[in-house]
Amino acid sequence: MSGNTSAPAAVVTGASRGIGAAIAEKLAGQGYDLVIVYRAGKDAAEAVKARCEEIRPGIRVVPVAADVSTEAGCQSIFDAAKENFGRVDVLVNNAGQTKDGLAMRMSLEQFSGVMDTNLTSAFLLSKLCLALMSRQRKGRIINMSSVAGIYGNAGQANYSASKAGLIGLTKSLAKEMGSRNITVNAVAPGFIDTDMTASLSDDLKKAAMGRIPLGRLGSPSDVASVVAFLASDDASYVTGQVIEVSGGLVL
């Protein structure tokens, strides 16, 4: 199936679980058709598709299995969006991974693997989508950074560098693309209740709570609501910004 669709279209990477799944479901409720990208876990992606279809009957959801760290993977994602919807109105670069360790013991593979998945993928997909958005004279790119990219985090030199790089990419693209009516923003979550934080020890969770004025972990829906705002016309004059969703976390 190809050609333009009457609904706007969004691409969400890392959409099979956690924050990405919540973003996909939120955008489904906001009227977007979707490309939901996952690397593994087809069943989880199909479950997200089913939930989106419950939220908005008649929605078109296209799951795509791809390695976002490669040019070929990103091209396959873009091709799926163009073939099925003929347009990309919103790109959410949410795919990410961690390979933690002290910098003095971190291998190049640990460093470059995280950089390619978290940062290079956002560059590659943005580059593809910006050409299409430029012709549309409208678009939204939302990059999922992290408080670690603002403040740093011991044991996460690779992750923090990738998330800081996303902030630089966001600001540069915002300056380049503003004249085409394309906004580019970043969201920086703090401690969010996902599979990633579920692996933390009780002591670490307790320590984190002590640094969060709101006194709780965030939920994926807390992040998704901010993404939905940045994707909407209500945020048409917001670009180049980094919005923390951290409960006031003090690092």
**Which residues have a catalytic role annotated?**
159
Give 4: exposed, middle or buried? Use CB within 10 Å, 0-12, 13-18, 19+. exposed
Question: Integer distance in angstroms from the first to the last C-alpha of the chain?
Answer: 49
Report whether 125 contacts 68 (CB < 8 A): yes
Joined together, the tokens standing for residue 173 give 């693209």
Joined together, the tokens standing for residue 49 give 């598709």
Report whether 65 contacts 42 (CB < 8 A): yes
- CA dist., res. 40 & res. 119, Å (int): 19
Q: What are phi and psi of 152, to 5 degrees?
A: 80, 165
CA distances from 120 to 6, 25, 51 (A): 31, 25, 30
Give 29: exposed, middle or buried? Use CB within 10 Å, 0-12, 13-18, 19+. middle
